[in-house]
């Protein structure tokens, strides 16, 4: 029986969100930093699922612990789905910040007809020591707006507007974002499996 789960990410914003989404489970959720693991995984896959599996299996191999990994991205219709799986590497600036990536996105959208329909995609993977690898997908629809709003979240959140909430992802209270976001939807679909495999097994 495993009651410890490792998150395959070093992104502080993502770690905070995942821990909040999994808070209902009676398990210990750890980050790599919690166990002094310094592991850089090259995301060489061509899909979200491939990248998430690469990370999950690398962390599992290094620790023997059950692992959750996710790969997420923003897909903008008028950019034909870009930045997609390259969302974190979209800016041409080396070691770009989130603000750099948002500025580059707006530069790419300049002059294109609005509204800029978009969605966030997340593929989450649970890798277990048994060799089992379980994948779930989440999606959140919205519109890219031309100016940043809100101070919460991370990544492209200040530009991603959700009409049903009249707010950007960065303006939503954390408890709302952690219910409606692409990551929340993918991880929520894994909750019953986590309950079954890690807690009740």
Active-site annotation, residues: 71
DSSP calls for 74-134: EEEGGGTT-BGGGGGG-SSSTT--HHHHHHHHHHHHTTSPSPEEEEEEEEEEEE-TTS-EE
Buried b or exposed e, range 101-128, using 16+ CB within 10 angstroms: bbbbbbeebeeeeeebebbbbbbbbbbb
Order of strands, sheet of 116-127, starting from the edge strand that comes earlier in the sequence:
28-31, 4-7, 67-76, 116-127, 133-144, 160-162, 167-168
Q: Phi and psi for 117 in degrees, rounded to 5? A: -65, 140
Q: Cα separation of 102 and 180, whole Å?
A: 21
Peptide bond between residue 83 and the one before it cis (omega within 30 degrees of 0): yes
């Amino acid at each position: 029986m495993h009651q410890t789960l490792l998150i395959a990410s070093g992104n502080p914003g993502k770690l905070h969100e995942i821990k909040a989404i999994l808070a209902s489970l009676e398990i210990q959720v750890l980050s790599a930093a919690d166990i002094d693991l310094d592991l850089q995984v090259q995301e060489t896959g061509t899909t979200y699922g491939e990248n998430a599996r690469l990370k999950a299996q690398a962390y599992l191999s290094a620790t023997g612990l059950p692992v959750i990994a996710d790969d997420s991205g923003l897909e903008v219709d008028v950019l034909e789905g870009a930045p997609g799986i390259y969302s974190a590497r979209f800016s041409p600036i080396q070691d770009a910040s989130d603000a750099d990536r948002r500025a580059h996105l707006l530069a790419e959208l300049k002059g294109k007809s609005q509204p800029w329909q978009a969605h966030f995609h997340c593929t989450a993977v649970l890798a277990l020591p048994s060799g089992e690898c379980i994948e779930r997908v989440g999606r959140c629809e919205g519109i890219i707006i031309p100016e940043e709003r809100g101070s919460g979240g991370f990544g492209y959140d200040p530009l991603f507007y959700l009409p049903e909430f009249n707010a950007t992802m960065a303006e939503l209270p954390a408890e709302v974002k952690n219910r409606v976001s692409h990551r929340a939807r993918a991880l929520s679909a894994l909750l019953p499996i986590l309950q079954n495999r890690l807690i009740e097994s």
